[in-house]
Amino acid sequence: MPKIDTIEELMLVLDERPQWLEALRMRLLTRELIELPRRFAEFAASVDQNFAQAERRMDGMEQTIGGTGKRIDGMEQTIGGMGKRIDGMEQTIGGMGKRIDGMEQTIGGMGKRMDGMEQTIGGMGKRMDGMERTMGEMNERMDSFATKDQQQKIVDSVGNLKGFMAERPARRDAYAIAVDMGFKTARRLTPEETVDLARSPALARLPRGERLSFRKADVLIEAVDEAGETSYVAVEASYTADERDTARALRNADLLRRATGRPARAAVACVHADDRVRSAAESGEVYCHELPDYRDSADFE
């Protein structure tokens, strides 16, 4: 079995052994998140069944011409601001109004025109009459899909996973971050060096929790400027950076300054940044490094 001492070694082993990566996912993700695809598939099957029932009711429209007006009223109530007038439907949904007029003139061909309306309104047209009831059932199913606590756990798990996935490209970009900040050369501090800094006399009297938090800093960089002077950079990585990431980066930069006696700066590496982070970056309080979106990049795979 390979010996793993650093996070980089762990990443290499996971890249070489997909089955380990899958096992790690099983350990990191909650059962609710793992079962999410199956539960969503069950939900989709139920929705498809409701849609099929709506289609059968649409076929019944051809046999009950006398109730056509009421069905159109039901359509108006279901599709947001479309329902007050058929003329409004023409303006809101492209050429759908012409099809409604055709329904009035050629009731015999109403079924075909309804089929055309189904294609025009995304996937909604297949069940125009039963849409209000179906949408209500969908909302009830979504409400019952998970309790608020379970939903929050899923959200927290996804947030933690996104944060973990942002650390890898941030570590990879450590040299680029330092160069973009104006330094000539740079290197990322090893975990051993970070532990030694946390044990330095300057930080020895800090609360144990604060020292442990410093040791878990996402990226710490030793950089050299054009004049040959050494400085340090504390980087916090996050999918969506907020004020907490800025605060952690500034705190770690201050601890680096105290532990090394050298200048230190704060930076955040993120896919998205909120207004407060952008404001801090514009003022020069922190440097903001943009990461690629995991949905568009292989860096997060």
User: Which residues are 223's β-sheet partners?
Assistant: 186, 231
| Same domain as 43, residue 127 | yes
Q: CA 291 from chain center: how many Å?
A: 14
| Same domain as 159, residue 125 | no
Phi, psi angles (nearest 5°) of residue 292: -70, 150
Domain-terminating residue out of 92, 115, 143 = 143
| Same domain as 120, residue 222 | no
User: Domain total for the chain?
Assistant: 2
**How open is the CA angle 259-264-267, to the nearest 5 degrees?**
125
C-alpha to C-alpha distance for 251 and 227, rounded to whole angstroms: 26
pLDDT at 44: 76
In a domain, 294, yes or no: yes
Name the token pair of 159: 């947030």
| Same domain as 165, residue 263 | yes
| Same domain as 176, residue 232 | yes
pLDDT at 59: 76
In a domain, 125, yes or no: yes
Domain-terminating residue out of 115, 143, 171 = 143
In a domain, 221, yes or no: yes
User: Residue 282 burial by CB count (10 A; 0-12/13-18/19+): exposed, middle or buried?
Assistant: exposed
C-alpha to C-alpha distance for 261 and 201, rounded to whole angstroms: 12
pLDDT tens by residue, 269-293: 999 999 999 999 999 999 999 998 7
CB count in 10 Å sphere of residue 164: 14
Report residues of the chain scoring pLDDT below 50.
Answer: 121-122, 124-125, 128-129, 132, 155-161, 299-301
pLDDT at 210: 93
In a domain, 11, yes or no: no
| Same domain as 200, residue 133 | no
**How open is the CA angle 126-129-130, to the nearest 5 degrees?**
85
pLDDT tens by residue, 192-236: 999 999 999 999 999 999 999 999 999 999 999 999 999 999 999
| Same domain as 163, residue 100 | no
In a domain, 114, yes or no: yes
pLDDT at 194: 95
| Same domain as 176, residue 109 | no
In a domain, 18, yes or no: no
Burial 79-111 (b: 16+ CB within 10 A, else e): beebbeebeebbeebeebbebbeebeeeeeebe
DSSP states of 69-107 as a string?
HHHHHHHHHHSGGGTT-HHHHHHHSTTHHHHHHHHHH-G
Pairing of strands 264-273, 287-290: parallel
| Same domain as 76, residue 194 | no
| Same domain as 209, residue 120 | no
Structural domain boundaries, residue 66:
37-143
| Same domain as 138, residue 234 | no
| Same domain as 166, residue 245 | yes
Q: What is the mean pLDDT of the chain?
A: 77
C-alpha distance from residue 25 to each of 14, 67, 150, 207 (Å): 11, 55, 19, 33
* Long-range contacts formed by 29-36: CB under 8 A, 24+ apart: 29/157, 29/161, 30/153, 30/154, 30/157, 32/146, 32/150, 32/153, 32/154, 32/157, 33/154, 33/157, 33/158, 36/154
Domain-terminating residue out of 143, 160, 193 = 143
User: Residue 142 burial by CB count (10 A; 0-12/13-18/19+): exposed, middle or buried?
Assistant: exposed
